[in-house]
Amino acid sequence: MDQDSHCTAGRELLEAASRISTFSTTSPSDEEQNQPNAEISCQVRKENPENGDLQDSSASQSSNSSMTTKELQEYWRNEKRQCRQVRLLFEIPSTRIVEHQLSKYVMYKIIILQTGSFDSNKSVIERRYSDFEKLHRNLLEEFSEEMEDVTFPKKTLTGNFTEEIINERKLAFKDYLRLLYSMKYIRRSKKFIDFLTRPELREAYGCLRGGQYTKALEILSEVIGLQERLTRGNPVSIVPTLCAIVVCHKDLENPASAFEYGEKALSRLQVHTSHRYYIPLLETMIALAYELGKDFLSLQEKLEEWKAKKDPVRVFTLKELAVREYVQ
């Protein structure tokens, strides 16, 4: 082979190496970066076995040893649910104008559903412009860098109730929610979750305190599904709502339904026995199990075991705890 052929071959090898290097270091596309990250807590623990994760793992194993077969099955079902990709889609299909004596505003109907499969349990909420505006201000305080390029539809002095402006804002708010949800730290933040759930929860707990258990149960049953999707990486956070549902069913004399939701709540507290709801929930579950003719001895053993380890302190009943939620 002559010298020119050697040079040509050398250049081709260098170009090929360059292409391979470029391909391997190319950053993900904008579309990939904008897609919400999967809430896969088990994968994170597997890939990043830090000391804290190892301690949590050994704590779980220790707790698992005292579970019944049914409790273990429910526990691992919850763990598997946390490993599935959950992405939410936001739609704003319609609006309505609300008029009072001193005010007039537009309510935007927001439909929230899970993508990837048919979702029969979509959540429907309503929010007005001022609710979105308050959310934006709150997020700017905590996530100024992440919110740097997020635009918010400005108020206009006139024309706020024209069809053109309302339709523009419907699209703007849909894109706004989609963009916020695509940012991991924002979609996990209490401020974002509160925006989507707090008004309904406040109404539900208000009904519960007023003895309107049927109405409270109706609202809580609607919001619990949305809470589960939004807090997939933190299942303990929905324990108060589950316990409020237990209280409603119990007072409506539906012990079987109360026990069912109590089991869901208790499964989320197996490794969180210091949680303020743990003992009141155990006491309620013992009473329900006795009423339903179910095994209450294992629950009683857990209660006695906890009392033997802890100093005796005043513990509220489950209902007393529930009525204290969302008081302010």
Domains detected in the chain: 82-188 (3.30.1520.10), 199-327 (1.25.40.10)
Burial class of residue 269 (count of CB atoms within 10 Å of its CB; 0-12, 13-18, 19+): buried
Overall pTM surpassing 0.85 (yes/no) = no
- Using the structure block, give the residue that is written with the tokens 């250049």: 11
Which amino acid belongs to residue 143?
F
Tell me if 165 sits within 8 A of 159, measured CB to CB: yes
Tell me if 122 sits within 8 A of 111, measured CB to CB: yes
d(CA 142, CA 191): 9
Q: Which residues contact 54 (CB under 8 A, 6 or more apart)?
A: none
How many separate helices (H) and strands (E) can be counted in the chain? 15, 3
Q: Is 153 helix (H, G, I), strand (E, B) or coil?
A: coil
Output the CA–CA distances (angstroms, integers) from residue 75 to 133, 168, 239, in the order listed.
Answer: 39, 45, 14
The pLDDT, as a whole number, for residue 101 is 85
The pLDDT, as a whole number, for residue 315 is 79
| 262-298 pLDDT per residue, tens | 999 999 999 999 999 999 999 999 999 999 999 999 9
Average pLDDT of the residues in 33-62: 40
The distance in angstroms from the start CA to the end CA of the chain is 86
Residue 143 has pLDDT above 50, yes or no: yes
Mean pLDDT of the chain, nearest integer = 80
Q: How confident is the model at residue 27 (pLDDT cuts 50, 70, 90)?
A: very low
Q: Tokens for 157? A: 């002095």
